Structure 1
Amino acid sequence: MFRQDPLNTILALGSGFTPTAVRVTATLRLPDLVDQGHRTVAALAAETGSDEQSLGRVLHYVSLLGLFEETTPADDGADADEQAEKQYELTDVGRVLLSEHPSNLRRWLDYDDPSRAMEARFEPAMGRLRDAVRTGLPVYEQAHGRPFWEDLEAHPDIEKSFNTGIARIANRLVPELARIHDWASAGHVVDVGGGNGSLLLKLLTEHPGLRGTLLELDSVIREAKDTVAPVADRCELVAGSFFDPMPAGADTYLIANTLHNWSDRDAARILGRCAEAVVPGGKVLVVERLLDSGKDPVMASYADLLMLVLLGGRERSMADLRGLGAGVGLTLTGSKRFELPGHWLVEFTREEAR
């Protein structure tokens, strides 16, 4: 990553300037501008309204990080300013910060983008990682005075930003989830903590023989009524907590992107409630990012630390999930990888004799 000796690599990785410089790059849309043909410091400074020398210093730094390839034309004997002669080309790393990149990462790092209110809210908690490492407990409340979920409720703008981010992930997972599992053999699915019902709507629309139940908090259920209206004749809305007894008797219980919010103890409680409710031989389906997925390991590890500081939860390996399931009478019987890097559909079957 860094074209430095080991000492300077550690200095760059540990320096506060590294994330800041990358975010300045994203905020000024430098990758977009370079991709459009503005390849000199002078041209980029003119396009962004920046001081040329200062911008050149940032460009040099992020080029060393691998975002751009920095070149200097051959010396023709002229006394031109070397800084102005430098030209920049995007690398594969830098292309991830293009505005049209499907990851939408540039907006996530853009200081000026109002949709990143939630990510900006994360940062003070991330700065308390040392305390989380010492105690094993979340530190979001230390940073903001309220636990994570209560803080969202108190700040509607931040809650909207958070929900937008979650929706982006869900929108990428939902079509594939509807396709990769044998839903035709299922009769009744309970979407546990299923948000506004968009996933359940997709499943019931594509599989007319399927019935569904959405289990969510009362405040979310009120919003979900409109979402699932097209399939209301096959969809029941139940207000409640997944830590309490669930609607019983379905053959499939789905928990998508939820277990990682919780500690092992609480995740086992959620799975245990599913195991109590599902019919013998029925399925409990878990959609999660896996630490040992073999793809996108850095993002999985990043998300793992984020769960620690925000909620005291964690990303897990396949072995972790197998162990949690076994503890509540569920046997891991299958898994399928999503195209979205790191995400898996993990299938548990309730043991016939319990």
Structure 2
Amino acid sequence: MPTTEQALLGNLVRQVMGDALGFLNAAALRVAVRLDIAEHLASGPRTPTELARLSDTDPGHLARVLRFLAMRGVFREDEQGAYQLTPAAELLRAESPMSVRSMVLLLTDEMYWLPAGRLEETVQTGTTVFNEIFGGPLFDVLAREPHRADIFHTAIADLSVTEQDPIAASYDFPDTGTVVDVGGGPGGLLHAVLLRNPGLRGVLFEQESVLTQHRLGDPAIAGRWEPVAGDFFGRIPTGGDIYVLKRVLHDWDDRDSLRILRATRQAMANEAKLLIIDAVIPSGNDPHPSKLYDLAMMTNFDGKERTRAEFDTLLAAANLRAVRVIPTPGTLSIVEAVPAPPAAPSAPDEAEIR
């Protein structure tokens, strides 16, 4: 009989070995989504042979992938050897109200996969290898390769569907005024805010190519919003009472994030507020999704998730001041900021934001 110490050591070895092979979790999940396994099981259980016939795959190999995913709670094998949907597998269906299908396809795409395989180089050099692999920064690649842009923008828009209403409900918006959503994508969050606050007007500030795909055609908010095309590194629309940056700053390093914040501050009146909606990394060793997402930002964008202290430093450099951090039901938090008072100490220069 192994001693307690030996048993604990064995568990640790298995944990570390499992982590080392963790890339196979993503690979197997991608196989299931690409082969539409969840869709094939929507009408009831099927055997690996039946699923292989529907997906034009080898039944033996498919069975092994399904067995692995069932171990992780994605699908379940019954006593007859057939597989069926689980609550986790339901999320892989395109018609699920909380579908993550498009996000799985994005996060397991080579745009994420290949840079992650060279994470050591990123850590050594302090910059992503994405540009070397794909011939430029991610957003430049999306601009010139429509098929990659479709994968990316579809996934981000679908992710927003799961977030936007809880976020809109987490903040006490004013009864009247104008909300400027800076880099707001197709406008999902702005739509949720305007629906919940009928006295507000909205501005969706985005690149022209993104504005053409907006999701603000709801008659319930007709006449209460306008699109404005532009670049958040340049001139941002003035006249807003609330400015929003949702999932924007985490895509950029501190230098570029400071440029965005300074452009936003220049557009803001002294009474305006800024809502930065991003993950806020908690202190300590406890698990938190932001710590995983931070690595994804580092490998693909030279971006980062930030702690409260890091947000404070960035905001101070842009002549802004964080007032509070408001949690939302998901991973994201709302960092509410206001213009810093004139008597505030001089802000750090860009050399300190590196």
TM-score bracket, normalised by the shorter chain, equals 0.7 to 0.9
Task: Flag the 1:97–1:297 CA change in 2: closer, same or farther, 3 A.
Answer: farther
Question: Could you tell me whether the CA contact under 8 Å between 1:201 and 1:227 is conserved in 2?
Answer: no
Whether 1:58 and 2:65 are equivalent positions in the alignment is: yes
Amino acid at match of 2:313: G
Q: Which runs of 5+ in 2 are unaligned?
A: 1-9, 344-354
Task: Flag the 1:187–1:21 CA change in 2: closer, same or farther, 3 A.
Answer: closer
Whether 1:212 and 2:202 are equivalent positions in the alignment is: yes
Which residue is equivalent to 1:10?
16
Deviation of 1:261 (Å): 0.8
Deviation of 1:262 (Å): 0.8
Distance 2:46 2:222 in 1: 55
Which residue is equivalent to 2:31?
24
Which residue is equivalent to 1:125?
115
Distance 2:76 2:18 in 1: 18
Instruction: Say which is worse superposed, 160-169 or 240-249, in terms of deviation.
Output: 240-249
Question: 1:238-253 residue pairs with structure 2 within 5 A?
Answer: 238-253=228-243
SS at match of 1:346: strand
Deviation of 1:188 (Å): 2.5
Deviation of 1:170 (Å): 2.4
Which residue is equivalent to 2:152?
162
Distance 2:70 2:218 in 1: 48
Distance 1:88 1:232 in 2: 47
Whether 1:105 and 2:100 are equivalent positions in the alignment is: yes
Higher gyration radius (CA): 1
Question: 1:305-320 residue pairs with structure 2 within 5 A?
Answer: 305-320=295-310
Normalised to the residue count of structure 2, the TM-score between the two structures is 0.74
Deviation of 1:235 (Å): 4.1
Task: Flag the 1:28–1:291 CA change in 2: closer, same or farther, 3 A.
Answer: same
Identity, in percent, stands at 31
Instruction: Say which is worse superposed, 343-352 or 297-306, in terms of deviation.
Output: 297-306
Q: Which runs of 5+ in 1 are unaligned?
A: 74-84, 111-115
Distance 1:13 1:274 in 2: 41
Amino acid at match of 1:105: V
SS at match of 1:269: helix
Distance 2:296 2:188 in 1: 25
Which residue is equivalent to 1:81?
none
State the superposition RMSD in angstroms.
4.0
SS at match of 2:324: strand
Deviation of 1:283 (Å): 1.0
Amino acid at match of 1:19: A
Deviation of 1:202 (Å): 4.5
Question: Could you tell me whether the CA contact under 8 Å between 2:107 and 2:113 is conserved in 1?
Answer: no
Which residue is equivalent to 2:322?
332
Deviation of 1:303 (Å): 2.2
Deviation of 1:91 (Å): 7.0
Distance 2:223 2:154 in 1: 28
Question: How many pairs align?
Answer: 332
Deviation of 1:88 (Å): 6.7
Instruction: Say which is worse superposed, 146-155 or 343-352, in terms of deviation.
Output: 343-352
Encode CA deviations 1:138-174: one digit per residue, 9 max, x unaligned. Answer: 2222111122111111111221222111211222333
Normalised to the residue count of structure 1, the TM-score between the two structures is 0.74
Whether 1:351 and 2:346 are equivalent positions in the alignment is: no
Task: Flag the 1:330–1:28 CA change in 2: closer, same or farther, 3 A.
Answer: same
Task: Flag the 1:167–1:94 CA change in 2: closer, same or farther, 3 A.
Answer: closer
Distance 2:121 2:31 in 1: 28
Distance 2:56 2:214 in 1: 45
Return the match for 1:282 from 255, 260, 272. Answer: 272
Instruction: Say which is worse superposed, 124-133 or 208-217, in terms of deviation.
Output: 208-217
Whether 1:303 and 2:293 are equivalent positions in the alignment is: yes
Encode CA deviations 1:56-95: one digit per residue, 9 max, x unaligned. Answer: 4434444555656779x8xxxxxxxxxxx76778777666
Return the match for 1:263 from 225, 229, 253. Answer: 253
SS at match of 1:130: helix
Which residue is equivalent to 1:176?
166
Question: Could you tell me whether the CA contact under 8 Å between 2:26 and 2:108 is conserved in 1?
Answer: no
Question: Could you tell me whether the CA contact under 8 Å between 1:197 and 1:227 is conserved in 2?
Answer: no
Task: Flag the 1:293–1:192 CA change in 2: closer, same or farther, 3 A.
Answer: farther
Amino acid at match of 2:164: V
Deviation of 1:314 (Å): 0.9
